[in-house]
Structure 1
Amino acid sequence: MRKVCILVSECNLGDIIAQKIISKYGATIAVENTIINNYIKNKLIAFEIECIWVYGNSEKETPKVMDTAFSKLKKDYKQNVIEINELINDLSRGEKVNVQRINKISDSIYSSINDEYYIVKCLSELRTADQYLYNHSVNVSFYGMLLGKWLCLTKNEINEIVQAGLLHDIGQIKVSTEILNKRGKLNFQEFEEIKKHPIYGYNMVKDLSVISDDVKEVILTHHERINKSGYPVGKDGDELSIYSKIIAIADVYDAIISERVYRKRETPFKAFEMLQNDSIGYFDIHIINTFLGTLAACYVGSKVLLNNGSTGEILYVPPHDISKPIVSVNSEYIDLSKESNLEITTML
């Protein structure tokens, strides 16, 4: 699709943003494929953004092309979950890691790197508790890929992050399903067993020359934290690679917003609040801020249910308060930062 640069004052409601918009302070205002609404246009003016890139196709053609791209992404996502399912099942039977299959999934995921708005929409829609390990592996790869892109890493580095995301939890196949799917709180022995899965996973791939040492390290260290509070060793931030720091964040975020057999999923905005409140000392501050700030803007246009039973659409996510977006309900603007009695309960 053709991209054109236009003055913000001349953009129309319904135009589709073709390139991420960043404020002069470095905050993400809107991401590619966001549809411009009146609220966003006014914010662009308030942030003194003069020009933006939009898609220059006709109004009839652009939505059709966008719908096709999103449909393809969903189809590829479902196939990738099937592929990782088969790969993990092969490993559980004692077969070797199928590198060709890993590369196939990685290439499929990387091919969508410029569709961040649709990636987030797809990952929001396609979730099931009974296939958590397989969905989670693919989801973490996608989030890791996006974070690598937002941190301006190279194509080769991002590809390794994608592979690390796919393989980071393979050690869980060595942990009993009774422990993994236990509905109540884990006892000390059960939690100690869970904490061994990075070691189990590392041992499964440590002698494979076709998997890089950097990817192997992520499998071993994705539960480590920069303040030494993680496991299995208790390394500090200086000992952890940027790959491990990225996958650690992607792993935790996807776990929070995923449905599990023992708990309900949280909304992305609740996850933003939790990570902002609890991430100090656990995650690299630059990486977590980059992830949350850019990811939050991807939810503009999402349909939501509020705790008062109203349904609405996210119009804008303030860069300074990403857990409290502006929501349109029956043509009324609701600023959740000013309505303490209202919150998003469900993404529709």
Structure 2
Amino acid sequence: METTQVPISELRLGRVISEDIFSNTQYPIFFKGTAISYEHLHVFNVFNISEVPVYKETENSNSTAVIDESLSAAQPEAVLTFKTIYFNAVEQFKREFKNWEAGAKVDITKARAIILPLIDIVLEDRTIIFDLNEYSNPKDYLYHHCIATGMISAVLAQKLNCDRGLTLQIAIGGLLADCGMAKIHPRIRDKKTTLTEQEFNEVQKHPIFSFNMIKDLTILKETIKEAIFQHHERLNGSGYPKGERIANISMFAQIIAVADVFHAMTSERLYRSKQSSFKVIEMINESEFGKFDIKVVRALIDVVADLPIGTIIELSNLERGEVMFVNKFAPTRPLIKLNSTGEIFDLGKNRTFYISRIITNE
């Protein structure tokens, strides 16, 4: 099939990309065979792409439909598009982080460009946060963690009814909250065994380093700068760097804190295996009670445990089942109809088991 280069201003929805598109990235931004949507137009703008290679239309073609269905059917477009943008964002952030290690200043324009395409996607489909821990790996955990914290912070901000401008600011705050880790020696930062007291004290300085790196950024609101400084503070005074208590800790800091802890506890680390999102929510809500603002915790529960009837899940014993009923007072422990036996299984009464993951591809 013949191809042609079409300027973005003339590009119509449904046109099909005829070759993989790169933009100084390790991975393609879009794959050959992808049908253009509104989401793609925004990403083209972010990456300053002025024209796109697409298949030529035939007389009978419909600009709102995929021209060659066989090309797009071979790969799940939405998933590939998100994963490609996500991994490109991680690679870009990693390069920025290495620059910070070498003494470069934080470029807020680059930070915004890294996170914005992901925020637009995740705010439309919150289920994406279920899969973020699957993309991470222990070696590059820190870079994945910063990207994921920004994304989860945005979802929580939206759930708490923040407007779009503030939601984006909070997302950037989540992205940059750990930029100060660039000032921690890699020997300590990447240590696989338990930190000594002296090493842990050094790590606890990273919010101070982060604040010093972003304090002069005029685009970032002062409230977000404060949130970055406070994102490891806890309402009961057990946090750092100052051991602040409830009255002195901002809501924005709590949003970033909950996002930070949620991703950290659900991800595989050098020294710890990953845990189920549902198990982590229960831990934050119960064993960590008193450390986090209850409104933010409830927002996280509402986002992660909002399971429509019919959702397919996998339990901690590897049994699969279908959500039949959700108790609003215990949303992480619904009634499940087991696929293997048809039995109705009440997670509220069987607390040994928990939902290990949502089956999003069925």
Asked if TM exceeds 0.5, the reply is: yes
Provide the C-alpha distance between the structure 2 equivalents of 1:272 and 1:236, rounded to a whole number of angstroms.
22
Provide the C-alpha distance between the structure 1 equivalents of 2:79 and 2:143, rounded to a whole number of angstroms.
21
- Aligned-pair distance for 1:83? 1.7
* 1:151 corresponds to which of 160, 164, 173: 160
* 1:115 corresponds to which of 101, 105, 124: 124
* 1:239 corresponds to which of 232, 240, 248: 248
2:125 partner amino acid: E
What is the alpha-carbon root mean square deviation over aligned residues?
A: 2.8
User: For residues 230 and 342 of structure 1, do their structure 2 counterparts lie closer, same or farther at Cα, with a shift above 3 Å needed?
Assistant: closer
User: For residues 94 and 232 of structure 1, do their structure 2 counterparts lie closer, same or farther at Cα, with a shift above 3 Å needed?
Assistant: same
User: For residues 249 and 124 of structure 1, do their structure 2 counterparts lie closer, same or farther at Cα, with a shift above 3 Å needed?
Assistant: same
Give the structure 2 partner of residue 324 of structure 1: 333
Give the structure 2 partner of residue 275 of structure 1: 284
* 2:142 corresponds to which of 122, 133, 136: 133
Kept in 1: contact 2:278–2:304 (CA 8 A): no
User: For residues 342 and 282 of structure 1, do their structure 2 counterparts lie closer, same or farther at Cα, with a shift above 3 Å needed?
Assistant: closer
Structure 1: state its 5+ residue gaps. 1-60
Kept in 2: contact 1:325–1:335 (CA 8 A): yes
1:173 equivalent in alignment to 2:182: yes
Provide the C-alpha distance between the structure 1 equivalents of 2:131 and 2:354, rounded to a whole number of angstroms.
23
Provide the C-alpha distance between the structure 1 equivalents of 2:163 and 2:334, rounded to a whole number of angstroms.
32
TM-score normalised by the chain length of structure 2:
0.71
Give the structure 2 partner of residue 335 of structure 1: 346
2:119 partner amino acid: Y
Give the structure 1 partner of residue 316 of structure 2: 306
1:252 equivalent in alignment to 2:252: no
Provide the C-alpha distance between the structure 2 equivalents of 1:120 and 1:72, rounded to a whole number of angstroms.
15
- Aligned-pair distance for 1:332? 3.8
Within-5 A mapping of 1:211-222: 211-222=220-231
Provide the C-alpha distance between the structure 1 equivalents of 2:314 and 2:158, rounded to a whole number of angstroms.
28
* 1:197 corresponds to which of 203, 206, 211: 206
Question: How far does the alpha carbon of each residue in 1:194-250 deviate from its partner, in whole angstroms, 9 at most, with x for none?
Answer: 111111111122233343322321221100112222110112222222211100111
- Aligned-pair distance for 1:277? 0.9
Q: 3-state SS of the aligned residue for 2:140?
A: helix
Provide the C-alpha distance between the structure 1 equivalents of 2:116 and 2:172, rounded to a whole number of angstroms.
10
Provide the C-alpha distance between the structure 2 equivalents of 1:293 and 1:101, rounded to a whole number of angstroms.
32
Within-5 A mapping of 1:6-155: 67-155=76-164
Provide the C-alpha distance between the structure 1 equivalents of 2:127 and 2:79, rounded to a whole number of angstroms.
6
Provide the C-alpha distance between the structure 2 equivalents of 1:212 and 1:341, rounded to a whole number of angstroms.
45
Q: 3-state SS of the aligned residue for 2:234?
A: coil
Q: 3-state SS of the aligned residue for 1:262?
A: coil
1:165 partner amino acid: G
Q: 3-state SS of the aligned residue for 2:275?
A: coil
Structure showing greater Rg: 2
Q: 3-state SS of the aligned residue for 2:286?
A: helix
User: For residues 95 and 316 of structure 1, do their structure 2 counterparts lie closer, same or farther at Cα, with a shift above 3 Å needed?
Assistant: farther
User: For residues 255 and 341 of structure 1, do their structure 2 counterparts lie closer, same or farther at Cα, with a shift above 3 Å needed?
Assistant: closer
Within-5 A mapping of 1:261-300: 261-297=270-306
User: For residues 287 and 305 of structure 1, do their structure 2 counterparts lie closer, same or farther at Cα, with a shift above 3 Å needed?
Assistant: closer
Kept in 1: contact 2:233–2:240 (CA 8 A): yes
- Aligned-pair distance for 1:310? 3.1
- Aligned-pair distance for 1:192? 0.7
Provide the C-alpha distance between the structure 1 equivalents of 2:300 and 2:97, rounded to a whole number of angstroms.
28
Kept in 2: contact 1:303–1:311 (CA 8 A): yes
Larger mean Cα displacement after TM superposition, 323-332 or 85-94: 323-332
- Aligned-pair distance for 1:93? 1.2
Provide the C-alpha distance between the structure 2 equivalents of 1:316 and 1:72, rounded to a whole number of angstroms.
33
Kept in 1: contact 2:313–2:322 (CA 8 A): yes
- Aligned-pair distance for 1:344? 4.5
Provide the C-alpha distance between the structure 1 equivalents of 2:96 and 2:220, rounded to a whole number of angstroms.
15
Give the structure 1 partner of residue 18 of structure 2: none
Kept in 2: contact 1:267–1:347 (CA 8 A): no
Question: How far does the alpha carbon of each residue in 1:115-171 deviate from its partner, in whole angstroms, 9 at most, with x for none?
Answer: 234422442432211111111111111111111111111111101101001100011
Provide the C-alpha distance between the structure 1 equivalents of 2:139 and 2:128, rounded to a whole number of angstroms.
21
TM-score normalised by the chain length of structure 1:
0.74
Kept in 1: contact 2:133–2:263 (CA 8 A): no
2:344 partner amino acid: Y
User: For residues 112 and 197 of structure 1, do their structure 2 counterparts lie closer, same or farther at Cα, with a shift above 3 Å needed?
Assistant: same
- Aligned-pair distance for 1:320? 1.8
Larger mean Cα displacement after TM superposition, 75-84 or 296-305: 296-305
2:211 partner amino acid: Y
